Amino acid sequence: MRIPIGSLIRLGLSISENVSEYQKGVNEKTRAARARDEAIAETNKYNRSRLEAQIARESMSVECPNCGATSNSIRRGSTGFCQFCGSAIQIDMNGNMQVHKPESEGNNK
């Protein structure tokens, strides 16, 4: 069977068109995926900085009632630990402090 050279060329052209169309589609997809990833990273960054600002706003510097260290910053409504003596310092949402000295906690040794 003889295939006319014209159809072979047309076939070749249409294949290469398909390939480049496909390639374009792939590039389009990677570009879209990259844009999406960047958008997600941007959102994460934004959320993180908002969260950090919120934590900073809700945090208060606390003088440790146990050892007097003043460099502890603890978020309201959470419990932090004194960097020096390890006392657990609990701050409620109103900023009231409750301290649990390490030696007064249940020592199960």
Interface ranges with Zn ion (CB under 5 A): 64, 66-67, 69, 82, 84-85, 87
| Closer of 43 and 98 to Zn ion (Cβ) | 98
For residue 80, the minimal CB distance to Zn ion (Å) is 11
Q: How far apart are CA 46 and CA 33, in angstroms?
A: 20
Quick one: 84 or 90, whose CB is closer to Zn ion? Answer: 84
Q: Which residues contact 102 (CB under 8 A, 6 or more apart)?
A: 85, 86, 87, 88
Q: How far is the CB of 86 from Zn ion (least distance, A)?
A: 7
**Residue partners of 58: CB distance under 8 A and separation at least 6:** 75, 76, 77
Rounded Cα gap, residues 35 and 29, in angstroms: 10
Nearest residue (CB) to Zn ion, 58 versus 81: 81
User: In whole angstroms, how close is the CB of 104 to Zn ion at the nearest point?
Assistant: 13
Min. distance of Cβ 85 from Zn ion in angstroms?
3
Of 82 and 91, the one with the shorter C-beta distance to Zn ion is 82
Q: What's the token pair of residue 109?
A: 């040794």
